[in-house]
């Protein structure tokens, strides 16, 4: 039996219906055409062009340096690869916190220049005006609460958020606000599973977790972590489905060896 619905195109309405009937939503990050083709062919529901591209693709320590132009480049590569998945694009740090006009301008550039289907941004009440303005232009918005990596210098560490009542209460208020404003989904990152389960019951929009336990409406992982391409990142919430760093390193060693020994190319591998 298939574990995902054979739907031609995933829309925000499809995701909403999935939550209503209790079907879990699968989401992964993608930053380039070739990877996005594989993930879309496998049937992932949502592809997130995450600002984690700043870490994974560009090697920065945080997500802060990535620019709007970079995000548009990554997103347009992903959009060209996709037949089925909903493509959500992260608004980069600095493009929406200042004022709602900038937020809308950044969003319009993403939608026009990349062809993405929705945007994601981090935070709750602090970015309310930006969310409203983007939504009023007809662009679907995904919220992101809990550990919000663009605020890493405020938090100081990447440890679990909202363990204390005060932060948990604010998170619940923010989730309700995001729903009321009209966001189509919320990502909850690295918070206690019991709190995430509570939020998923509290709101009618899909809640997608990363390090937020299993009692939510879907899961997201950074693809390079899930495939074992990133080597030294081993948080408790991560399940690795391959050890690609090792496999690719071995393949590269074999190639180098074949070149050095003259084994490659052989008679059949030339004209």
Instruction: Give catalytic residues, as residue numbers.
Output: 189
95 binds ligand KIV (CB under 6 A): no
Footprint of ligand KIV on 183-212 (CB under 6 A): 187, 189, 210
Using the contact rule CB under 6 A, the part of the chain among 46-54, 111-119, 241-249, 262-270 near ligand KIV is: 46-54
Residue 140, SS3?
coil
Q: Which of 12, 26, 29, 114 binds ligand KIV (CB under 6 A)?
A: 29
User: How far apart are alpha carbons 204 and 224 in whole angstroms?
Assistant: 30
Q: Which is nearer to ligand KIV, 51 or 217 (CB)?
A: 51
Nearest residue to 197 (alpha-carbon basis) of 178, 179, 172, 177: 172
- Do the beta carbons of residue 51 and residue 30 sit within 8 Å? no
Q: Which of 26, 52, 77, 219 binds ligand KIV (CB under 6 A)?
A: 52
Residue entry with tokens 């679907």: 140
- Do the beta carbons of residue 198 and residue 215 sit within 8 Å? no
Tokens standing for 143?
């919220």
Q: Which is nearer to ligand KIV, 76 or 223 (CB)?
A: 223
Check residue 161 and report its DSSP letter.
P
Using the contact rule CB under 6 A, the part of the chain among 50-58, 65-73, 100-108, 155-163 near ligand KIV is: 50-58
222 binds ligand KIV (CB under 6 A): yes
36 binds ligand KIV (CB under 6 A): no
Q: Least distance to ligand KIV from the beta carbon of 261, Å?
A: 41
Q: What is the DSSP string of 186-239?
A: EEEES--HHHHHHHHHH-SS-EEEESS-SSSSEEEE-HHHHTT-S-S---TT--
Q: Least distance to ligand KIV from the beta carbon of 85, Å?
A: 15
> Would the CA dihedral through 189, 148, 47, 250 be positive or negative?
negative
- Do the beta carbons of residue 10 and residue 85 sit within 8 Å? yes
Using the contact rule CB under 6 A, the part of the chain among 33-41, 43-51, 104-112, 236-244 near ligand KIV is: 43-51
47 binds ligand KIV (CB under 6 A): no
Q: What are the two backbone dihedrals, phi and then psi, of residue 89, each rounded to the nearest 5 degrees?
A: -115, 130
Neighbours of 174 (CB within 10 A): 21
Residue 118, SS3?
strand
Q: Which of 220, 226, 227, 229 binds ligand KIV (CB under 6 A)?
A: 220
Q: Which is nearer to ligand KIV, 40 or 122 (CB)?
A: 122
Q: Which is nearer to ligand KIV, 139 or 251 (CB)?
A: 139
50 binds ligand KIV (CB under 6 A): yes
Nearest residue to 116 (alpha-carbon basis) of 95, 88, 154: 88
The size of the interface with ligand KIV (CB under 6 A), counted in residues, is: 11
Footprint of ligand KIV on 71-90 (CB under 6 A): 90
Binding site for ligand KIV (CB under 6 A): 29, 48, 50-52, 90, 187, 189, 210, 220, 222
């Amino acid at each position: 039996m298939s574990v995902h619905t054979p739907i031609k195109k995933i829309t925000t309405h499809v995701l909403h219906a999935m939550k209503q009937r209790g079907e879990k939503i699968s989401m992964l990050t993608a930053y380039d055409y070739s990877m996005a083709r594989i993930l879309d062919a496998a049937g992932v529901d949502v592809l997130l062009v995450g600002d984690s591209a700043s870490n994974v693709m560009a090697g920065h320590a945080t997500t802060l340096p990535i620019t709007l132009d970079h995000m548009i480049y990554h997103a347009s590569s992903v959009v060209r690869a996709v037949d089925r998945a909903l493509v959500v694009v992260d608004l980069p740090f600095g493009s929406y916190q200042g004022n709602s006009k900038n937020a809308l301008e950044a969003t319009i550039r993403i939608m026009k220049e990349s062809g993405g289907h929705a945007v994601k941004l981090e935070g709750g009440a602090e970015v309310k005006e930006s969310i409203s303005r983007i939504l009023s232009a007809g662009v679907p918005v995904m919220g992101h609460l809990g550990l919000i990596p663009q605020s890493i210098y405020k938090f100081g560490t990447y440890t679990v958020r909202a363990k204390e009542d005060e932060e948990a209460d604010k998170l619940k208020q923010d989730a309700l606000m995001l729903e009321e404003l009209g966001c189509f989904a919320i990502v909850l990152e690295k918070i206690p599973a019991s709190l995430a389960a509570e939020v998923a019951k509290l709101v009618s929009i899909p809640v997608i977790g990363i390090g937020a336990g299993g009692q939510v409406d879907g899961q997201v992982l950074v693809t390079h972590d899930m495939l074992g391409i990133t080597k030294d990142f081993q948080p408790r919430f991560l399940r690795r489905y391959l050890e690609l760093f090792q496999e690719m390193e071995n393949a590269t060693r074999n190639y180098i060896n074949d070149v050095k020994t003259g084994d490659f190319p052989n008679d059949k591998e030339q004209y």
